[in-house]
């Protein structure tokens, strides 16, 4: 009997998606960006875009009809003395309006000369540029363009400063309009993940882990979306020396682990879900596996309790791991922000390969209206398997009204295949 596809939340047609993203962008530019520039004491922010070598932050600043910088695009943000943000674009494309005011007349001067005029006219106290040794998304200004700006604005170059703090907040903080929609995006991804971990896709003894990856990628493409990263499907198996088997045929008694996310409406998701493949006659996973899943949920609760606005990523990490040790939970914690990017800028809470203090990125505080992939694993002895196995989980969460909330239905037990 052929299995039906899961009914997933409605995916908007392209035009509606663009209208939605443009509304969000206009709202962000009008409400969020002025606040961030004031918060970080940035008077002027210059972003230079070059076709085929785009600054990574530009995608979050361009309206839907602008797909590239087309040779050269320069955006200038200026916070005047009245805390009013002026937004200028040095490019002839009319589709930049009403998001930006077009101030360059090609018949009068070139773009660089226009930029020089703007800087001279407004004489900002500081000029933020996109360079950073810490945050990749804030390091998009090319070396040649930095040199050109240094020569062009030679008598202002002493005012240059990194725009990294504005960029980190711009990318990691979501507005109220986005937070209303983000849970439905997360739920859309979770629904596809649940379908992938079912008999609609997996036939024990026949289906391989690679088959499931291929199915997911095609399913997401068929819905008119894209994955936020290349999905991973692997196995935990009784008697195996490896805890993440890949490229294997899925068998009865296996735990199937999926790491997967989607990109939709400019926002990404990242989740890890687990299924158990029942033996013929079995109706539930072995008790030892269920106990291990319950332990993972307990550690998930601990992380939730410790993720507080204002605490740094390192503080959350150490507090959560201390509680885990007190409860004799063997755990690893490596959670990260999500947003425009799957691994978004913002406070890191551990790294998979660094279970300790994360300099700079771990020292950032958790901020209101930010979203996270709560990612971790625990290890526990399974009597029925006579071995220790890991339980990998990851759930999208958000600070909504200063309270940490799951953005999609939380997985509380194994999916059963």
Q: How many domains does the chain have?
A: 2
Which of 171, 198, 223 is a domain's end point? 171
Classify burial at 100, counting beta carbons within 10 Å of its beta carbon; exposed 0-12, middle 13-18, buried 19 or more: buried
State yes or no: pLDDT of 104 exceeds 50.
yes
Q: Identify whether residues 288 and 217 lie together within a single domain.
A: yes
- Residue range 117-135: average pLDDT? 97
- Residue range 285-312: average pLDDT? 98
Q: Identify whether residues 257 and 406 lie together within a single domain.
A: yes
Q: Indicate the SS3 state at residue 208.
A: strand
Task: Name the average pLDDT for the chain.
Answer: 96
Alpha-carbon span 399 to 389, nearest angstrom: 32
Q: Identify whether residues 19 and 127 lie together within a single domain.
A: yes
DSSP-assigned letters across all residues of 246-269: -S-B--TTPEEEEEE-EEETTEE-
Give 138-188 pLDDT, tens digit per residue. 999 999 999 999 999 999 999 999 999 999 999 999 999 999 999 999 999
List all residues 6 or more positions away from 28 whose beta carbon is below 8 Å from its beta carbon.
Answer: 170, 175, 178
The fraction of the chain above a pLDDT of 90, given in percent, is: 95
Q: Indicate the SS3 state at residue 135.
A: coil
Token output for 376: 């971790």
Domain for residue 4, yes or no?
no
CA-wise closest residue to 258 among 240, 276, 242: 276
The fraction of the chain above a pLDDT of 70, given in percent, is: 98
Choice among 8-22, 23-37, 256-270, 375-389 with the minimum mean pLDDT: 8-22
- Residue range 189-197: average pLDDT? 97
Give 266-286 pLDDT, tens digit per residue. 999 999 999 999 999 999 999
The total number of residues shown for the chain amounts to 417
CATH of the domain at 274: 3.90.230.10
State yes or no: pLDDT of 3 exceeds 50.
no
Alpha-carbon span 263 to 342, nearest angstrom: 8
Which of 126, 156, 171 is a domain's end point? 171
Report which of residues 25 and 82 the model is more confident about: 25
Q: Indicate the SS3 state at residue 49.
A: strand
Which of 155, 171, 187 is a domain's end point? 171
Q: Identify whether residues 150 and 178 lie together within a single domain.
A: no
Which residue's entry shows tokens 């550690």? 299
Q: Residue 73: pLDDT band by 50, 70, 90 thresholds? A: very high
Confidence (pLDDT) at 8: 60
Q: Identify whether residues 221 and 90 lie together within a single domain.
A: no
Confidence (pLDDT) at 266: 96
Q: Please report the beta strands in 226-340, taking only residues with DSSP state E, as ranges in sequence order.
A: 226-227, 232-236, 255-260, 262-264, 267-268, 271-276, 330-333, 336-338
CATH of the domain at 102: 3.40.350.10
Q: Identify whether residues 165 and 178 lie together within a single domain.
A: no
Token output for 87: 């937004």
Confidence (pLDDT) at 4: 45
Q: Identify whether residues 118 and 258 lie together within a single domain.
A: no
Q: Indicate the SS3 state at residue 242.
A: coil
H-run or E-run covering 50: strand 44-50
Q: Identify whether residues 166 and 259 lie together within a single domain.
A: no
Q: Identify whether residues 309 and 363 lie together within a single domain.
A: yes
Q: How much is the pTM?
A: 0.93
State yes or no: pLDDT of 330 exceeds 80.
yes
Domain for residue 298, yes or no?
yes
DSSP-assigned letters across all residues of 99-118: TSEE---TTT--HHHHHHHH
State yes or no: pLDDT of 214 exceeds 90.
yes
Q: Which domain holds residue 85?
A: 14-171
Q: Identify whether residues 289 and 148 lie together within a single domain.
A: no
Confidence (pLDDT) at 368: 96
DSSP state for residue 59 in the 8-state scheme = G
Q: How far apart are the first and last CA of the chain?
A: 15
Q: Identify whether residues 82 and 228 lie together within a single domain.
A: no
Confidence (pLDDT) at 82: 85
State yes or no: pLDDT of 1 exceeds 70.
no
β-strands 44-50, 127-129: how paired?
parallel
């Amino acid at each position: 009997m052929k299995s039906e596809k899961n009914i997933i939340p409605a995916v908007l047609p392209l035009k509606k998606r663009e209208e939605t993203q443009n509304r969000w962008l206009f709202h962000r530019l009008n409400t969020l960006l002025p606040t961030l520039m004031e918060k970080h004491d940035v008077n002027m922010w210059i972003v230079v875009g070059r076709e085929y070598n785009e600054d990574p932050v530009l995608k979050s600043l361009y309206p839907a009809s602008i797909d590239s910088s087309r040779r050269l695009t320069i955006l200038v943000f200026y916070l005047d003395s009245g805390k009013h943000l002026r937004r200028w674009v040095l490019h002839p494309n009319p589709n930049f309006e009403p998001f930006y005011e077009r101030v360059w007349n090609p018949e009068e001067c070139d773009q660089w000369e226009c930029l020089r005029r703007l800087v001279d006219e407004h004489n900002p106290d500081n000029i933020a540029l996109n360079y950073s040794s810490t945050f990749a998304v804030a390091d998009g200004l090319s070396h040649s363009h930095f040199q050109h700006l240094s020569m062009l604005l030679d008598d202002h170059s002493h005012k240059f400063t990194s725009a990294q703090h504005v960029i980190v907040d711009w990318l990691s903080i979501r507005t109220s309009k986005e937070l209303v929609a983000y849970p439905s995006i997360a739920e859309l991804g979770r629904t596809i993940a649940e379908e992938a971990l079912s008999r609609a896709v997996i036939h024990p003894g026949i289906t391989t882990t690679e088959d499931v990856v291929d199915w997911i990628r095609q399913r997401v493409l068929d819905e008119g979306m894209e994955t936020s990263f290349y999905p991973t499907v692997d196995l935990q198996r009784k008697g195996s020396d490896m805890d993440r088997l890949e490229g294997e045929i899925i068998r009865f008694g296996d735990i199937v682990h999926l790491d997967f996310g989607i990109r939709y409406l400019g926002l990404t998701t990242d989740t890890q879900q687990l299924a158990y493949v029942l033996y013929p006659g079995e109706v539930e996973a072995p008790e030892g596996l269920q106990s291990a899943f319950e332990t993972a949920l307990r550690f998930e609760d601990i992380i939730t309790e410790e993720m507080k606005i204002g605490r740094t990523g390192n503080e959350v990490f150490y507090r959560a791991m201390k509680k885990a040790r007190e409860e004799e939970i063997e755990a690893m914690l490596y959670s990260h922000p999500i947003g425009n990017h799957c691994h978004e800028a913002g406070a890191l809470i551990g790294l998979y390969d660094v279970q300790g203090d994360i300099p700079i990125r771990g020292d950032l505080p958790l901020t209101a209206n930010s979203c996270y992939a709560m990612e971790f694993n625990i290890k526990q002895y399974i009597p029925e398997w006579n071995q220790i196995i890991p339980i990998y989980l990851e759930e999208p969460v958000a600070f909504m009204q200063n309270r940490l909330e799951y953005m999609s239905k939380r997985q509380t037990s194994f999916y059963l295949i």
